[in-house]
Amino acid sequence: MKPKKNFETLAVRTQTSRSSQREHSVPIYTTSSFVFNDAEQARAMFANEIEGNIYSRFSNPNNDEFVQKLCLLEGTEDGIATASGMAAMFCSMAAFLQKGDHILASRALFGSTHQVITQILPKWGIDYSYVDIGDNGAWEKEIRKETKMIFAETPSNPGLDLIDLGYLGEIASKHGIILNIDNCFATPYLQTPASFGAHIITHSATKFIDGQGRVLGGAILGSRDLIEKVRFFARHTGPAMSPFHGWILSKSLETLAVRMEKHCENALKLAQWLETQQGVQWVKYPFLPSHSQHKLALKQMRLGGGMVTFEIKSGLEGGRKFLNNLKMLSLTANLGDTRSIATHPASTTHSKLSKEEKLSTGISDGLIRISTGLEHLDDIISDVEQALAAAI
Ligand SMILES: *Cc1c(COP(=O)(O)O)cnc(C)c1O
């Protein structure tokens, strides 16, 4: 048996086959279709008797390379690439759920995922309920006989609360429910949900996987059987990734490990520094001992991730002042970029929620979320320091 290669090696060396040009790096296959040698080959490919590319909505060498790598890193058998993270979230639900089914999800979800579950799936008779993140016992109580899928993100956005993956894996298997984990915040470098029993892993590759704020992309990974169903759904509904994005994202995976190491190192040090600051009420970061789920973080994550949240003492107005006084950190909706980014959810992404809704998803008036980038730590801290001083 060949020894299993390590994460970094798999990410760098997994490559779809070379063409007759003997290129070192795989070229971009910008073609909508692929030619058949003869009628018999065309018949056999359409009949699924032999493998091969037919049309780029079904498969493309660049997207296949990206997904093959991601499968090796996540420890799953198969997967498909999608045009965005939301295409992945939607397809991973729509491929399995039908009228009368129920989806159980954690309350703290990415905004558009929340809209899909509460506004779009119900149009087709799919019901949902939410569980408060971190309340282990609550999950099992909410399971009904119609529950077909459990969906969760960990760490959560922007609260950075964790979900116990081992526990969810156990109850999903006990009740025969598909466990679908959005692993966008952690990436497979920090945690592999499949190893805790998750059946489907979903990604927004737009964030840390691209890591440089260039392209949108997503992926759905799992066992061959489950992905066959997703592939059927995606092939006929068309959320295909562009080959150019597949090429970019496959290259991005080659540097994921070194980037995540640095994101996490900068984030931990920033979080430790923030804990010493006067104007800061509290700091949340999974690898700080002050995080209420620190033990769980150490159990299921390799490092604490690139995101840090903190509460500014001067509340809603302080949060706005903090953003307005930043000189280097970007004010933008993305995260997981080489460039550090600050957001103030209470006045932007979550401003439409009621006070109770905000609090139940962990958003307080003075909460600031920082996606820690790859600039020098001293420069990140000095920008945050002067903006904090102006916000008090
Ligand atoms: C950004 C994000 C998504 C959606 O991904 P897009 O690529 O923007 O469509 C889904 N889940 C999480 C946790 C995200 O941060």
Q: Whose CA is nearest to atom 12 of ligand 1?
A: 110
Output the CA–CA distances (angstroms, integers) from residue 240 to 83, 133, 195, 203, 227, in the order listed.
5, 32, 27, 14, 15
Q: Ligand 1 centroid to 88 CA: how many Å?
A: 9
- Better-predicted residue by pLDDT, 325 or 3: 325
Residues with CB under 6 Å of ligand 1 are: 84-86, 89, 110, 112-113, 153, 157, 182, 184-185, 204, 206-207, 216, 218
pLDDT at residue 254, rounded to an integer: 97
Q: For residue 1, is pLDDT > 70?
A: no
Percentage of residues of the chain with pLDDT beyond 70: 99
Ligand 1 pocket test: which of 154, 206, 241, 248 has the largest number of ligand atoms within 8 Å of its C-beta? Answer: 206
The residue-averaged pLDDT of 34-42 equals 96
Give me the residues paired with residue 219 across strands. Answer: 81, 203
Q: Biggest alpha carbon distance in the chain?
A: 74
| CATH class of segment(s) 7-253 | alpha beta
pLDDT at residue 324, rounded to an integer: 95
Ligand 1 pocket test: which of 112, 180, 245, 343 has the largest number of ligand atoms within 8 Å of its C-beta? Answer: 112
pLDDT at residue 290, rounded to an integer: 97
**CATH 3.90.1150.10 given to domain 257-391:** yes
Ligand 1 atom closest to Cα of residue 86: 9
Q: Worst-scoring range by mean pLDDT, 42-56, 189-203, 357-371?
A: 357-371
- The pLDDT tens digits of the residues spanning 215-270 come to 999 999 999 999 999 999 999 999 999 999 999 999 999 999 999 999 999 999 99
The residue-averaged pLDDT of 124-144 equals 91
pLDDT at residue 3, rounded to an integer: 65
The residue-averaged pLDDT of 41-51 equals 94
The residue-averaged pLDDT of 372-390 equals 98
Q: Ligand 1 centroid to 208 CA: how many Å?
A: 11
The residue-averaged pLDDT of 54-72 equals 96
Q: Where are the domains of the chain?
A: 7-253, 257-391
Q: What is the mean pLDDT of the chain?
A: 94
Q: For residue 47, is pLDDT > 70?
A: yes
pLDDT at residue 157, rounded to an integer: 86
Other C-beta atoms within 10 Å of 4: how many? 8
Other C-beta atoms within 10 Å of 173: how many? 12
Residue pair 133/155 in contact by the 8 Å Cβ criterion: no
- The pLDDT tens digits of the residues spanning 334-380 come to 999 999 999 998 888 777 778 787 777 778 899 999 999 999 999 99
- 3-class SS letters over the chain: CCCCCCHHHHHHHCCCCCCCCCCCCCCCCCCCECCCCCHHHHHHHHCCCCCCCCECCCCCHHHHHHHHHHHHHHCCCEEEEECCHHHHHHHHHHCCCCCCCEEEEECCCCHHHHHHHHHHHHHHCCEEEEECCCCHHHHHHHCCCCEEEEEEECCCCCCCCCCCHHHHHHHHHHHCCEEEEECCCCHHHHCCHHHHCCCEEEEECCCCCCCCCCCCCEEEEECHHHHHHHHHHHHHHCCECCHHHHHHHHHHHHCHHHHHHHHHHHHHHHHHHHCCCCCEEEEECCCCCCCCCHHHHHHHCCCCCCEEEEEECCHHHHHHHHHHHCCCCECCCCCCCCCCEEECHHHCCCCCCCHHHHHHCCCCCCEEEEECCCCCHHHHHHHHHHHHHHHC
pLDDT band at 119 (very low <50, low <70, confident <90, very high): very high
Region label for 234, one of left (φ > 0), alpha (ψ between -120 and 50) or beta (otherwise): alpha
- The pLDDT tens digits of the residues spanning 298-343 come to 999 999 999 999 999 999 999 999 999 999 999 998 999 999 999 9
Q: Ligand 1 centroid to 109 CA: how many Å?
A: 10
pLDDT band at 192 (very low <50, low <70, confident <90, very high): very high
pLDDT band at 2 (very low <50, low <70, confident <90, very high): low
Percentage of residues of the chain with pLDDT beyond 90: 85
